[in-house]
Amino acid sequence: FLGSPRMSFLPGTLKLDGSAAAIRLSDTLLPVAPGRGLNGATDGQAVLLGLRPEHLTRAQAATPAQGTFRYDATIDLLQPTGSRSYATFRLAGAPVMAELQAHDVSRPGERLPIDINMNRASIFDAKTERAI
């Protein structure tokens, strides 16, 4: 994938339960956005979850919007770039980058709620690397 900063890829397992779907990333279960087609995917299928930094933001509302997963992150690395900052944290043990407003976070070690827009997440078959 082209672009900078790059997309984060996290290995997981697809969980299907009737009309609901989720991706298990070790100890974290992220719900797949309602109504998303999964192109013949199966329960237990190994997948890669692709997250772009611009689809991860500091939580603003008291409750997450539909299709959004809220995660309490501890910032490991902070890269200020003027009006924006790129913050790296760990999700299920893997580094993930979020694009935040410059004032959203002030230092590494800070904890803050991050909303992950699962409506914009990419899901790939882990074996073929084709989009699901």
pTM over 0.85: yes
For the chain, the first-to-last Cα distance in angstroms comes to 16
User: E strands along the chain, which residues?
Assistant: 8-17, 20-25, 28-31, 46-51, 56-58, 68-80, 84-91, 94-101, 111-117, 122-125
Where does residue 85 fall: left (phi above 0), alpha (psi -120 to 50 degrees), or beta otherwise? Answer: beta
The verdict on residue 90 lying in a domain is yes
CATH of the domain at 29: 2.40.50.140
Count of structural domains, the chain: 1
* Choice among 23-32, 33-42, 65-74, 102-111 with the minimum mean pLDDT: 33-42
Residue 52 φ/ψ, nearest 5 degrees: -90, 145
Domain range spanning residue 49?
8-125
The verdict on residue 131 lying in a domain is no
- For 123, other C-beta atoms within 10 Å of its C-beta total 22
The verdict on residue 83 lying in a domain is yes
pLDDT tens track for 24-47:
999 899 999 888 888 889 999 999
